[in-house]
Structure 1
């Protein structure tokens, strides 16, 4: 059914890399969310009035906030698709991440309020009256939320949208919560224990946990989390297939929103290679990375020194530094780029595992840089990788 709705509502629905098509997917998902959550709110509110259940009542208002989240997703789709401008040269794609964060915070607040209200019912319990109509409403609500989970997951994967993936996670949490509400409502008919209040509290905690997960993932993305290791390995492998590239380092990837990723790397080229041909090959490599990963890459060319005498001399200098300052470290995979103004020493550094901490790594880089500059002001150290002793891979 979801595929039929998409085909009917979105022209060129297969072109998911097109910004306008992505926007139409997001708007469709938001519109369906508004419609479904409005129906769910009306149904659950009616059931809550009929049964006098605090859990059902809270679940109804949870759907009302979900409807607000759908409005936010539509607005974010329109805003994130705005073209780059003077103040935002990389576009406005991060509006989607801000929308995901907003949804996560809304879920957290709703979960907290549900817990607060449910805990109060431990001290002021009220009688409940279960009816077949309310059971049917809750069962229908579970089915609708299950369908919402499926279509949001489908759209999220189609257009790589964090907003839809966050909404899908919220939908499945709501389905589980409603199932719990239904079970508690039925069980409450056979006991005087505050099952309704307990169920409301548990469901509230589940909702808070889901909101925390969404907010945490989005904040990590906004702060600039490390790119996926598999993606880095694939890019390195692709770069090494280039005729002139003998190695790569300093890979950086910046995420400015779905479909708006930018990256850079240093490609190591023998200094005997033809400059024009090598540059053209790197242009082709940039295009290939875009075609496969939709990441706009800038590749910096590092001309590797092929003078054996200079390489041996530089290795001797580096080994002397390591033996004097860090006798428990060792380096390998040495290569250099040599010019009149600067000589870069590129290598991997292996250190004891207990020293592999962010603070210690900053100290090591700074101290090695200062020591080499004292030897020769042209020298700079480029630690392509710092690895715990015994590890050889990225």
Structure 2
């Protein structure tokens, strides 16, 4: 429980920093975007608004995922983080669609304006702040193995990239190529859409119990095979459950072992996997006699 509290506090700390930073950036970019007539900066500002929403979702989902198991959720609530991350992806995709539509209509209308100089400064500040947020958030996300925070970090990076696009578009528009500003807004929308799609794809894979990375499977297989009394293993299955893994496998043992001896080996396999492999929360071991397995 203490480990879970530390995990939540670390996630909460970086999330609060992200929330404050995104709030300031969103207000700055949207306000200056309207005053300086920059479609790209307004789009970038609403991207920061979606960052605020995503950070709140991540905070709530991490907190809920730490809720202990109960009779209705015997495995715990860790998948709440994946659900929260999926909601974040939907917000990003919807944001991208609306911003892309507005930028496209602006280009078609021909109502183009030359952005003011403050728009350049706001875009530059956003690039620096969002890149710093990305680096801090990805570091903490990997340390506590939080898919929600890692997704939020990539959201920060996409915001930094969209601010670069906005900077280029605003700069080009100020040089006389006014169409570059709404065009940059369109590029920003595409970048947001791409990140939203990638996050939704990854969380859907987890929610559908997709197999984790092969290195983890091989690591757990090697631990099980190293236990005295295990002749071989088969049907090794892993599935992600929030920051943790659940393992199912079958072990083959000698025919003449008693039920007690077979259970003792299975318990040893379970304990060794949990102790030696990071983030494994539960292991189910099925015991097969050698002759039955090879019959």
Give the TM-score category using the shorter length. over 0.9
Distance 1:92 1:145, change over 3 A: same
Deviation at 1:275, TM superposition (A): 4.8
Residues 187-212 of structure 1 deviation map (CA, whole Å, 9 limit, x = unaligned): 11223451112111122111101110
Out of 146, 151, 162, the position equivalent to 2:147 is 162
Distance 1:129 1:300, change over 3 A: closer
Q: Which has the higher contact order (CA 8 A, sep 6+)?
A: 2
Residues 159-212 of structure 1 deviation map (CA, whole Å, 9 limit, x = unaligned): 111111111111111101101101110111223451112111122111101110
Deviation at 1:278, TM superposition (A): 4.2
Alignment check: 8 A CA contact 2:93 2:197 kept: yes
Deviation at 1:228, TM superposition (A): 2.1
Structure with higher strand content = 1
Counting only pairs closer than 5 Å after superposition, residues 268-307 of structure 1 correspond to structure 2 as 268-273=252-257, 275-293=259-277, 294-295=279-280, 296-305=282-291
Structure 2 distance, partners of 1:262, 1:129, is 54
Deviation at 1:91, TM superposition (A): 0.9
Structure 2 distance, partners of 1:257, 1:96, is 6
**Residue 31 (1) aligns with residue 8 (2):** no
Structure 2 distance, partners of 1:198, 1:141, is 19
Distance 1:42 1:222, change over 3 A: same
Counting only pairs closer than 5 Å after superposition, residues 1-394 of structure 1 correspond to structure 2 as 18-124=3-109, 125-131=111-117, 133-192=118-177, 194-259=179-244, 261-273=245-257, 275-293=259-277, 294-295=279-280, 296-305=282-291, 337=292, 345=294
Runs of at least 5 residues in structure 2 that lack an aligned partner in the other structure: none
Alignment check: 8 A CA contact 2:57 2:85 kept: no
Alignment check: 8 A CA contact 1:130 1:186 kept: no
Instruction: Look up the SS of the partner of 2:78 in the other structure.
Output: coil
Alignment check: 8 A CA contact 2:274 2:283 kept: yes
Residues 321-359 of structure 1 deviation map (CA, whole Å, 9 limit, x = unaligned): xxxxxxxxxxxxxxxx1xxxxxx556xxxxxxxxxxxxx
Q: Which has the larger radius of gyration?
A: 1
Structure 1 distance, partners of 2:261, 2:129, is 59
Residues 116-175 of structure 1 deviation map (CA, whole Å, 9 limit, x = unaligned): 0100111232322322x3322221111110011011101110111111111111111110
Alignment check: 8 A CA contact 2:114 2:178 kept: no
Structure with higher helix content = 2
Alignment check: 8 A CA contact 1:266 1:302 kept: yes
C-alpha root-mean-square deviation of aligned residues, in Å? 1.8
Structure 1 distance, partners of 2:243, 2:10, is 13
Alignment check: 8 A CA contact 2:113 2:178 kept: no
Residues 225-257 of structure 1 deviation map (CA, whole Å, 9 limit, x = unaligned): 123222222222222211111111122223332
Structure 1 distance, partners of 2:221, 2:113, is 65
Structure 1 distance, partners of 2:8, 2:158, is 26
Runs of at least 5 residues in structure 1 that lack an aligned partner in the other structure: 1-14, 306-336, 338-343, 347-394
Give the count of matched residue pairs: 292
Residues 274-321 of structure 1 deviation map (CA, whole Å, 9 limit, x = unaligned): 55344323322211100122322121111112xxxxxxxxxxxxxxxx
Alignment check: 8 A CA contact 2:235 2:249 kept: yes
Alignment check: 8 A CA contact 1:244 1:273 kept: no
Distance 1:233 1:128, change over 3 A: same
Instruction: Look up the SS of the partner of 1:18 in the other structure.
Output: helix
Structure 1 distance, partners of 2:149, 2:161, is 18
